[in-house]
Amino acid sequence: MAADASLPELTFVLGGARSGKSAYALTLAESCVTPDNMRLELFFLATAEAGDEEMASRIARHQAERGPLWRTIETPIALAAALREHRAPRRVIVVDCITLWLSNLMHLGQDPEQACHDLLEALAGASGPTILISNEVGMGIVPDNALAREFRDHAGRIHQRISAQADRVVFVVAGIAVTIK
């Protein structure tokens, strides 16, 4: 049984950098917490790593903005395992973000296609609503180097596979969410 019948099992939120994706996803998840439903748990699976001082500051700021209702789990690589471990009927999980996870996988030389397969299997077994966030990277110019093109191509394929499985797909631009599925 889902935490909230109005929230689909899998929502995929796409958009450009600083488009308002995360704010939209958090608001969507928090909308499930009502006075009648206070036992609902909010989990945030973070794929970012604090590789430098600026990123550490950004992560700390985002954690503070989420507030005390949220439990944060850092999972830069083992996203499918974290979903399997933390899913529960009375829990909404937000994953932020798929493109950072992809970048982490590629940096370690792991197979993004296999990782995506594992992720989709974990999502298929979800027992509560999950909201995935990702950066749309395929709407700009073709990157000028092989690594950036490989990243863009993997991201596009992963987005297509997640969108096919998702119950709802939302594109956020300039803080405005447009449902596309």
Residues designated catalytic: 62
**Partners of 45 in beta bridges:** 73, 95
Answer whether 127's CB lies under 8 Å from 3's CB: no
> By C-alpha distance, which of 113, 109, 98, 10 is closest to 47?
98
Which residue type, as a one-letter code, is found at position 29?
Answer: A
What one-character-per-residue DSSP string does 43-81 give? EEEE-----SHHHHHHHHHHHHHH-TTEEEEE-SS-HHH
**Beta strand extents in the chain (DSSP E only):** 10-15, 41-46, 70-74, 91-96, 130-135, 168-173, 176-179
| DSSP assigned state of 91 | E
